[in-house]
Amino acid sequence: AKEVYGPKDYPFQYDVVEVFIHVNGSKEGNLPYYEFEVTPFNQTLEVKINDLSQPFELGITTGAETVVTKTDKGWTGEFKIPLDKMGWTGDPKDIRGNFFGIFGKSPRTYWSLYLPPQKKAAFHKPEFFQPLF
């Protein structure tokens, strides 16, 4: 991980945990969906994806909170995401998404809860989102 970012640095370029969330109440189909990231230094990124050909709308204001705890064996991160600001009606079956972890420098390792194996990591695959509850 990198403790201080430069102007062209993003969390996904370093050690990071990500969650992608689609709320069925927000729109039919797979769009829009949201991406939330947290690093071992509690740096965050929130993205709203409306269009996969131009996927990044930075600076959304859902007000997600993160908590990172470091130990001698690694780190854990916790997301607190206000789903109502994303159009959630309160029905647990309406929340779909995926979780990811990206770790290391060379070689980097990529972990996904629901994606099939890939030759090159590509996380923006809403067709593979699964129920999160």
Q: What is the pLDDT of residue 118?
A: 87
Q: What is the pLDDT of residue 84?
A: 83
Digit-coded pLDDT (tens) for 89-108: 888 888 999 999 999 888 88
Q: Cα separation of 71 and 79, whole Å?
A: 18
Q: What is the pLDDT of residue 28?
A: 63
Q: Cα separation of 85 and 46, whole Å?
A: 13
Q: What is the pLDDT of residue 112?
A: 92
Nearest to 74 by CA among 10, 13, 17: 17
| Alpha-carbon separation of residue 39 from 29, 74, 126 (angstroms) | 30, 12, 23
Q: What is the pTM of this model?
A: 0.84
Digit-coded pLDDT (tens) for 37-50: 888 888 888 888 88
Q: What is the pLDDT of residue 98?
A: 94
Digit-coded pLDDT (tens) for 53-72: 876 666 555 556 677 888 88
